[in-house]
Structure 1
């Protein structure tokens, strides 16, 4: 397998060439290419082991990241000047290789990024719910993993990876892998996860959920009990697990 790197802000990871999006990869994500076919590459993502297909031309040589984007999103500018043309937008969690830095900008091979929007590799956040709150209002996107659109499991994964915690990409795998199951009726607390069949939500406080959901088509807070009743009423069943990290 050949190690490569994503060179565009975000790309769909497809189930098959021309098939549906399963997840997404971000700028700087490293991957292992398994095979190439008619301009498409089948790969495995280093961050979570997820596999799928992307256009071969979004892959480039690996430049080891020195920093990561810790703001919800940022711009890459042509010059170290916020009034200069912006060349691309990068989502939270994107990995970059800094060549030099000043008091206000870091320089990368793609351009200049505000220094306040990045953190050095190895610096992690400590509260995944606070990370998830950065995505408030982000539009819901099935299989999405970026500030430009994400789904329930994408929100959970982004928050946990930013805190240095390994996390699968899909809610079913997250339910199996994350945390400790609590008995039914346990009092929820901030940082817990509630799972349904095909859905997951953060507990923001004992009365409130934070989740990317198709009802609001966005990342939103929702009263916990009301959400449980709504999800059951719409035919998606009861809570299947209450997990504590």
Structure 2
């Protein structure tokens, strides 16, 4: 049985890339679109439960539109689900930068003393039209501090994950305002230009196992994932403390086993296809 999270099809329409499983559904090539809001909720069904979130500037393919909802497939990780059609834009301007800080404000003018007009999360994808002093003007409107953006990927997933220490735990979350275990791994790897699936089980299946965990390797339990920091500690978003924390790996293995949520499933090294900005 196909995994609904990775199957670009509704009960009525299927993307041409999966046409072999059409089974009477209308086949479509889909339409390109881009997330035009700070965070779009990616839902299992229209107005249903949250599976994940998509950040500003994420590219998607729209498979079907229905009653104010759009069924989409995310370009970066192939995750499928429903978003509000109001969250989409057809803008396809070339992406030049990404938000490299945990989050940043958008200002109506290149002046930090003006009242902010909004915010953007880490990994939001941006088109910068010009730079004026310490601010960059976005093609979509507003100005962001140049210190918070980059035209390059980061190089250290652990340091990137650690910049999100203290972030509140949120099931299916993908931002500084709330993140879960697999969302933290994906955010850290995306920031370093590394492809990464959206959920822990998909991450475990995507990466190769290693005998000895090194810095940046992922550590797995049933339904949970963390990242090794290389000093006997790991970083993870945990419902145990409801935030992103450091924890001693050996202590975590013992604690999770004692809670009946084990066993430890080993380490895997995240090596995958490189992303485009």
| TM-score range normalised by the length of the shorter chain | over 0.9
TM-superposed deviation, 1:242 = 1.3
Query: Structure 1: 5+ residue runs without aligned partners?
Result: none
Superposed counterparts of 1:221-236, under 5 Å: 221-236=246-261
Match of 1:189 in 2: 214
TM-superposed deviation, 1:124 = 1.3
Cα distance in 1 for residues equivalent to 2:103 and 2:148: 8
Match of 1:201 in 2: 226
Query: Structure 2: 5+ residue runs without aligned partners?
Result: 1-29, 271-277
Match of 2:193 in 1: 164
TM-superposed deviation, 1:234 = 1.4
TM-superposed deviation, 1:157 = 0.6
- Which moves more between the two structures, 79-88 or 232-241? 232-241
SS at match of 2:250: helix
TM-superposed deviation, 1:241 = 2.2
Deviant stretches of 4+, over 3 Å: none
Cα distance in 2 for residues equivalent to 1:64 and 1:13: 24
Aligned-residue Cα RMSD (Å) equals: 1.1
- 2:144 corresponds, among 94, 105, 113, to 113
Number of residue pairs matched?
Answer: 239
Structure 1 position 76 matched with structure 2 position 106: yes
TM-score (norm 2): 0.84
Match of 1:154 in 2: 183
Task: Check whether the contact 1:175–1:241 (CA below 8 A) recurs between aligned residues.
Answer: no
Match of 2:3 in 1: none
TM-superposed deviation, 1:165 = 1.1
Superposed counterparts of 1:1-245, under 5 Å: 1-62=30-91, 63-108=93-138, 109-120=140-151, 123-178=152-207, 180-183=208-211, 186=212, 188-245=213-270
TM-score (norm 1): 0.94
- Which moves more between the two structures, 213-222 or 227-236? 227-236
Task: Check whether the contact 1:138–1:148 (CA below 8 A) recurs between aligned residues.
Answer: yes
